[in-house]
Amino acid sequence: MDVVPPFAPGESATITLTLGANNRQHRYLSFASMVILSNDAFIGNSDPMAYPIFDESGNVILSAILRLGAQIYDAGTEVNDETPANTAFFGQAAPDTGVTEGGVIALHTGFDPANSGGILGTAMFANADFTADDYSLLRLGVGGGFNITEVTLVGDVYNIVWDGGRAPFQVQWSRNLQEWTDVGEVMNDRAVEIELLREDRAFFRVIQGAVTAPQTAMFELTFDSVWSAATHPTDFLAGTPHFSGLIGSIYNGNDSLWAPGGTTTPGIRNVAETGGKSPLDDEIEALISGGNTASVISGGGIGRSPGQVSVQFDADQDFPLLSLVSMIAPSPDWFVGIHDLALFENGQWIEEVVVQLHPYNAGTDNGETYVAPNATTTPQGEITRIVAPSPLAFDGVVAPFGTFTIRRIVS
Transcribe 288-314 into DSSP letters.
HHHTSEEEEEE---BSSSSEEEEEEEE
Q: Does residue 158 contact residue 151 with C-beta atoms inside 8 Å?
A: yes
- Same domain? For 256 and 348 the reply is yes
What DSSP string runs through 324-372? EEEEEES-SSEEEEEEEEESEETTEE--EEEEEE--EE-SSB---STTP
Q: Give the confidence band of 267 by pLDDT, cuts at 50, 70, 90.
A: very high
* pLDDT beyond 70 at 88: no
Q: What is the CATH number of the domain that holds 401?
A: 2.60.40.2130
Q: Does residue 81 contact residue 89 with C-beta atoms inside 8 Å?
A: no
Q: Give the confidence band of 411 by pLDDT, cuts at 50, 70, 90.
A: low
Q: How many CB atoms lie within 10 A of CB 409?
A: 11
Q: Which of these three, 119, 144, 169, is where a domain ends?
A: 144
- Same domain? For 250 and 395 the reply is yes
Q: Does residue 365 contact residue 377 with C-beta atoms inside 8 Å?
A: yes
What is the reported pLDDT for 162?
Answer: 81
- Same domain? For 134 and 186 the reply is no
- Same domain? For 315 and 203 the reply is no
Using a pLDDT cut of 90, give the percent of the chain over it: 40
- Same domain? For 71 and 87 the reply is yes
- Same domain? For 284 and 262 the reply is yes
> Residue 148 is which amino acid?
I
- Same domain? For 50 and 80 the reply is yes
Q: Distance (Å, rounded) from C-alpha 239 to C-alpha 237?
A: 6
What is the reported pLDDT for 134?
Answer: 44
Which of the residue ranges 149-153, 237-241, 340-344 has the most confident prediction, judged by mean pLDDT? Answer: 340-344
Digit-coded pLDDT (tens) for 89-139: 666 667 777 778 888 887 776 665 444 455 555 555 555 544 444 445 666
- Same domain? For 73 and 170 the reply is no
Q: What is the DSSP letter of 133?
A: G
Domain count for the chain = 3
Q: Distance (Å, rounded) from C-alpha 190 to C-alpha 385?
A: 47
* pLDDT beyond 50 at 257: yes
What is the reported pLDDT for 114?
Answer: 46
What is the reported pLDDT for 152?
Answer: 84
- Same domain? For 56 and 160 the reply is no
Backbone CA torsion sign across 263, 268, 270, 274 = negative
Helix (H/G/I), strand (E/B), else coil: 191: strand
What DSSP string runs through 42-87? EEE-SSTTSSB-B-TTS-B---EEEE-GGGEEE-SSB-----GGG-
For residue 248, give the nearest of 302, 305, 293, 309 by alpha carbon: 293
**Does the pTM of the predicted model rise above 0.75?**
no
For residue 170, give the nearest of 201, 144, 192, 145 by alpha carbon: 192
Q: What is the DSSP letter of 209?
A: S
Range of the domain at 199: 146-208
Which value, to the nearest 10 degrees, does the dihedral of the CA atoms of residues 68, 74, 80, 81 take? 0
Residue 34: φ, ψ to 5° = -70, 140
Q: Which of these three, 162, 181, 208, is where a domain ends?
A: 208
Q: How many CB atoms lie within 10 A of CB 391?
A: 15
* pLDDT beyond 50 at 280: yes
Q: Give the confidence band of 239 by pLDDT, cuts at 50, 70, 90.
A: confident
- Same domain? For 225 and 195 the reply is no
- Same domain? For 378 and 274 the reply is yes
Q: What is the CATH number of the domain that holds 174?
A: 2.60.40.10
Q: Distance (Å, rounded) from C-alpha 15 to C-alpha 29?
A: 13
Helix (H/G/I), strand (E/B), else coil: 273: helix
φ/ψ bin of 124: left (φ > 0), alpha (ψ from -120 to 50), beta (otherwise): alpha
N-to-C CA span, the chain: 41
Least-confidence region, from 106-110, 140-144, 280-284 = 140-144
What is the reported pLDDT for 79?
Answer: 78
Q: Which of these three, 114, 144, 174, is where a domain ends?
A: 144
- Same domain? For 183 and 329 the reply is no
Q: Distance (Å, rounded) from C-alpha 72 to C-alpha 81?
A: 16
How many DSSP H helices and E strands does the chain contain?
A: 2, 27
Q: Average pLDDT for residues 145-159, to the nearest whole number? A: 79
Q: Average pLDDT for residues 72-88, to the nearest whole number? A: 68
